[in-house]
Amino acid sequence: MRVLFLGLFLTLSLFGANLEWSSDYKAALKEAKQEHKLVYVFITSDSCRWCRKFERTTLRDEDIDKRLHKEFVTIHMSRDQVKIPEQFETTPVPRHYFVDGDGNILYSSLGHRSIETFDSFMDNAHHAYEKNQKKENK
């Protein structure tokens, strides 16, 4: 019986799609400014199978997870549960936004992405931020 419960627990852990990320956008912007990070905004819907697939695959990758939490403040917002700030599109999903601490969108994408592609998106967000900083300093 213990083996059955352990197996069930492990299955739910592997395939459970709940992200334990904040959905407080304003707090994320404040934290990003304080920690000198960018914000990754992940927008989903409760019934989106591609969102769940992205969560189970790409976001569960150990290297992606480490990099996300080291370099970004992460936000997960389900359009079915929270009010999404107007600057973000909510259909179709999943949607990915990388913003600076002022809420300026630096890079965005739509859909399920592989580990390699998502990793390059994080690079693109940093490059866009650096480019904006250079423009502001001229």
Show me where the domains of the chain are located: 17-136
Pairing assessment for the beta strands 38-44 and 72-78 based on DSSP bridges: parallel
Quote the pTM value: 0.85
Element holding 44 (H helix, E strand)? strand 38-44
CATH no. of 17-136: 3.40.30.10
3-state secondary structure of 87: coil
Render pLDDT for 15-67 as a digit per residue (tens, 0 to 9): 444 567 999 999 999 999 999 999 999 999 999 999 999 999 999 999 999 99
pLDDT tier at 134, thresholds 50, 70, 90: confident
Q: Say how far apart CA 138 and CA 127 lie, in whole Å.
A: 17
